[in-house]
Structure 1
C-alpha cells in the first residue's frame, strides 16, 4: 500500500486526481486481501493514518486537518472519499454473514472464526447491527422535517430476503461507524463547529464538481469549513505569531472576523462587493425565469376535443408565483440605487430585488444576506421583521405581497431559505440546482478573494494594494 501511495505521489498529476486514483484504484485492491486474511483492526487503522497523510497533502489541507473532514457523511461538507477502516468493517461483517448463512450445511457447521483482533470483533458488530434492525421494525418509519406519513419507506428486517438482510446489515455497520465519527466531532472545539450550523442543507461535492474546481478554491473551502486557515488567532495557537490582531482594525481576528465581522472591511465596502456579486447571480436567474413567462398565453386558445376512451392533454398549471402573470417587471439594487415602485407605495426601504406585476397586482421582495453560517437563522428573522411593515403596507393598498429573506453563508453554503424562495417563484428541478450551484461558486470565489486581501488596503471594487 505504501509503495502504491508513493508511486501516485511522485506522478505529476494535481492532488485531486491523485485522490481519485486512491479512491478507485488503491482502495478496491486493498479490500480483497483484507477480506481473505486475518488482519487485526488496529493494523488497518494504522494503514488509514498513512493514507490520511497522503490525502491531506493531495487535497491541500494541513496535517492538523481532522480525518472527519475526509470521510464523514453527516457533515455539512462531504467529499467522495471512503474510509479504509469503514470498508474493512463492512467487508468483515459480510464475511461473517456469508459463512454463517451459507447454503452449504458443511460451511455453516465448520465453525470458521473471523479474526479481527481484540479492539473490534466482526461477529459482535453483526449481532449489534441485527439487533438495531429488529428494533427499527418495532419503531417503524420515522418522518423527518415536513415530510408526511408514508413519505419515508424502508424494507423491514422481518420480511427481507437473505440477500436484502445482508445488505441491510452492511448499511447498518456504516451507520454505526458514522455515529462514532459524529461523536468524535462533538469533542472538537474548532473543527466541529459546523455542528452548530442551522438552516443550511448538507453540501455534497461529487467528483465532477471537484474536477471543475481550482485547487486553491477546493483547499480554501475545506480549510474554511473546518477552521484551519492561518487566521491571526490560529497562528497564535500554533505558536507562529505573537499577537492575534487584525491588520486592518487591530482587533483580535479569527476566521469569522476576517470573512464577516471586521468593521474596517465593512466600511471599505469589501462585504458589500461580495454581497453584490452574489446578488447579481441570484438576480440573473430570477430575470431569466421572469422573461420565460412572457412567452406564455400568446395567441388565441382553442378547445381540443377528446374522443371517447382517450385521454386528453393535461393542462399546464402555473409554476410558482412567476407563473401567475406575464407582465412581471424586475429591479435589483445593483450599480444604481434601487427605488421602490411608486405605483405600489412610497417608502425609503430598498429590498435587494423587487418583482411586480401591475396587471395582477402582485409584488415580490427578495432580501439577500451573506452572513457567517452560525448566524443564518438570526439574519433571517432580522430581515423578515425589517420588511414586515412594508409587506403590510403593500397589502393594505390592494397588492398581494411576499417578502423572501434569503441567506448564503459566506463560505458558500446556500441556506434552505434560498431553495424555498426559488421553488416558490417557480425555479425548480435541475434549473434550481444549477442556480444554487452558481450562487455557491460566486460566494466561495468572493470570500477567497477577501481572504487573500485580508491584510491589504481596499481601493474599490476588487482592487487591493499593499
Structure 2
C-alpha cells in the first residue's frame, strides 16, 4: 500500500509507520488558524466523528478496498474467509442466543485489522479529494482539504461552500458504506476575514453540525475553540497542574512517595499539552515554581532551597527529579525537528512555526545545539582524568541518522540547561559551595530514597546546600542574635559544627564518626581478604595493540591481594591497634594488611573531613605515613599507602574508589561499597548534628548502627 503510494500520507497518517500523525495534524491546523487570525483570511474547518467506526466498518467495504488496491486474489480470499467466520452470541440468566454472523467491525488486537481499517477509511477520504482544493499557507504550500487519523476526519477549506461540497461527497460515501456520522460530537468553524462567524450552517446526513463557538472540541489530544488561539489552553494546563498537585498533596503518603507520583504520574501528562499548545516559557516557569514549592514541602526543605538542587544534573548531589521547564524545552525542540524533518513534504515545507514566547525560541535553541555538536566534531573526542582512548564514544553528528541526530540535539539542549544551572550556582555563595568540591558526584535513585527516613533525607539535602539551622544561618535569617557555637563560642558555621569544633574533637565526637565509617570499611576489606584467589606470578602487565576491526581481550581482575596467599589484617578501632612486629613506631594507621612470607604490606588511613578539604587531608595523611612506609621498605617489605577520604556529608573521594580497585573490589561490589561508606558517614554526621547543642558526650549512649 505505501510502496505503491495508494495511501496519501498527507491525508491519512494513522497506522502508517514513520509519521507522527497526531503532532503533524494538530500543528498544521494550529498554523492555519494562526494565519487566518493574523492575516485576516477565510478558513473553514469541520471535525467529523464517526459513530463506533471500528465496530461498524462493513466487511464488504474492506473487500471493496482490497479489490480497489489490487491486493492479490489469494490474499483477498484468505481475508474473506477470516472475516466471514467471525460469530458471537449473548448470554443472560434466562437464555442464550444462537450464534450470529458478524458482517461489520474489525477484530480488536488483530495485527492486520489496523491495515484493513485504514484501507477502508482511505476509500471514504478519497471520495472528497476531487471536490476542491485545500487552504494555502503563507509558505505557498497547499494543504489537503481532507485529513484523517484513523477514524478522526477533518475538513479544511478556504470557504464554507467548498466545505459543503466535501460534506456532500462524504455523506454519500459513508451512507453507501452503511456507516453513520455523529453530528452532535462533530464541530464546524467558519472564519471570515479573520473573524469567527456563525452566519453559515453546515450539515451532515441531514443534521446540523454544531458550531465551535460555544462547543470546544478536543481532537488528537489538543483543544480547539473559537478564539483561534491557545489562550484557554493555558488555563486548562494550569488547572490540570493545580488539581494534580492538590490530589497528590491529599494522599496520606510520605513526601518522597508524593514526589515519585509527580515525577512518573503528573509530569508525563503535562508534557503533551505543553508541546502541542502555544505556551510561552514564562508561564512554564511559573508552573515550575508551583511544583518546586510542593516538592520542597514534601521533602522537608525550606522555601529558600534552590531549584538547582532539585533538578540539576551538574550538582554533586543529584535528585531523580526532572525540571518542567527542561522537559518543555526538549519537547518543543523535538516538535520542531519532527515537523522540519517530516517525510510529508506538505508538512516540512508548510512553514509551521513553533511559538514559545519572546524569552526562548525552539528554532534558535535547535540551531545552537547543532552548532555545538558541529563544534564537538571539530574538537574531537576528549577524555577526562584517566580515561583511555576511545572510552565512552558517542555517535558523531556527520555519521548519525535522523533519529540519532534528533536525540543528540535533545541531549545537547539538556546539557545547555545544566550549563545555565551551573553558572547560576557558581554565583550563589552559600548554596553553591558544592561547586568547589573536588569529589565525584552522587546520584540518588528512587530505590535509595525509599530507604531514607524523612528527617535523614532532609538533613542530607540541607547539609549539602548549607541550609541547616546553624547559629550563623539563624543569625542570617534574623531568627537569632548569637552566631556562636554553643560548645566553644566560635563562629558556628556548618563546617565548624561538623568538622572543626575543638570541643567536639576533644570529646571524641569526630573520632566516633570516624570509627563508624572505619567499621564499614573494615568489614568490606575483611570479606575480600577471606576470598580464595590465585597468586599472581606474572611479570608486569602490558597493553596489547588492538587493530581496527578487532576486539580487545577482556582484562583479568588484578589485585594487590594476589601478591600473597595468606594475609592478616588489623583495624584501629577505639585506638587499640598495635602495629605488626616489623618496625617500632608510635603511628597507628587505621587498617594494616600484611603478609609475612612474601613481605607485603598495605596501609590504609581513613579521614572523614569537610568536603572542601579532602585533597588537603590526602596530602597530610600521605606525608604523615610516608616515613613509616620507608621504614617498612628498609626491612624488605613491599609497602603501599592508601589515604582514603569520605566527606562528612557522605561523599567518598576518588581515593576510596582507587583503593578498593587496587585491592580487587571491582564492578557492582565496588559501587555498593563506596555507597555504603558514604551512607555511614552521612548517618554519623546526622547523629552529631542532632546532638550539637549537648555539652556532654558519651559514646556509649549513641547508636552504632
Equivalent residue runs for 1:66-105 within 5 Å? 66-105=306-345
Query: How far is the alpha carbon of 1:336 from its aligned partner?
Result: 5.2
Aligned residue pairs total 446
Q: Which runs of 5+ in 1 are unaligned?
A: 298-313
Partner of 1:121: 361
Confirm or deny that 1:291 pairs with 2:291. no
3-state SS of 1:366 partner: strand
Counterpart mapping for 1:106-145 below 5 A = 106-145=346-385
The reply to whether residue 223 of structure 1 matches residue 469 of structure 2 is no
Q: How does 1:333-344 map onto structure 2 within 5 Å?
A: 333-335=572-574, 337-342=576-581, 344=582
Q: Distance in 2 between matches of 1:148 and 1:245?
A: 50
Determine if the alignment matches structure 1 residue 24 to structure 2 residue 24: no
For residues 197-235 of structure 1, give each alpha carbon's deviation from its aligned partner in whole angstroms, at most 9, with x where no partner exists. 01x211000000111111111111000000000000000
Alpha-carbon distance in structure 1 between the residues aligned to 2:556 and 2:306: 49
Whether 2:574 is the aligned partner of 1:363: answer: no
Aligned equivalent of 2:671: 433
Specify the SS of the correspondent of 2:594.
strand
In 1, Cα distance between the equivalents of 2:589 and 2:472? 36
Which residue of structure 1 aligns with residue 586 of structure 2? 348
| Structure 2 counterpart SS, 1:446 | helix
TM-superposed CA distance for 1:78, in Å, is 0.4
Matched, 1:60 2:289: no
Tell me if the contact between 1:236 and 1:243 (Cα under 8 Å) persists in the aligned partners: yes
Quick one: which of 198, 209, 212 aligns to 2:448?
A: 209
Q: Equivalents in 2 of 1:214, 1:244: separation in Å? A: 29
Q: Is the 8 A contact 1:247 1:455 kept in 2?
A: yes
Shift of 1:434: 1.6
TM-score (normalizing by structure 1): 0.93
SS at structure 2 position matched to 1:459: coil
Give, in angstroms, the shift of residue 110 of structure 1: 1.1
Q: Distance in 2 between matches of 1:335 and 1:291?
A: 23
- After superposition, the C-alpha distances for 1:8-53 in whole angstroms (9 at most, x for unaligned) are 1111100000000000000000011011110000000000000000
Deviations 1:381-414 (A, max 9, x none): 0000001111111111111001110000000111
Deviation of 1:6 after TM superposition, in Å, equals 1.0
Residues of 2 paired with 1:20 and 1:230: CA distance? 27
- Counterpart CA distance in 2 for 1:226 and 1:459 is 27
Unmatched runs of 5 consecutive residues or more in structure 2: 1-240, 537-552
1:129 shift after superposition: 0.8
Alpha-carbon distance in 2 for matches of 1:182, 1:426: 36
Q: For 2:519, which of 275, 280, 296 is the aligned residue? A: 280
Rounded to whole Å, the distance in 1 between the matches of 2:555 and 2:482 is 64
When structure 1 is superposed on structure 2, of 131-140 and 14-23 the one drifting more is: 131-140
The answer as to whether partners of 1:293 and 1:323 remain within 8 angstroms in 2 is no
Is the 1:270–1:458 contact (alpha carbons within 8 Å) kept by the matching residues of 2? no
Confirm or deny: 8 A CA contact 1:273 1:462 kept in the other structure. no
Match of 1:391 among 621, 629, 639: 629
Cα offset, 1:318, TM superposition:
6.7
The C-alpha deviation readout for 1:41-76, integer Å capped at 9, x for no partner, is: 000000000000001011111000000000100111
Give the TM-score taking structure 2 as reference length: 0.62
Picking from 598, 616, 621, the partner of 1:378 is 616
Q: Is the 8 A contact 1:115 1:121 kept in 2?
A: yes
2:495 to 241, 250, 256: 256
- Equivalent residue for 2:471? 232
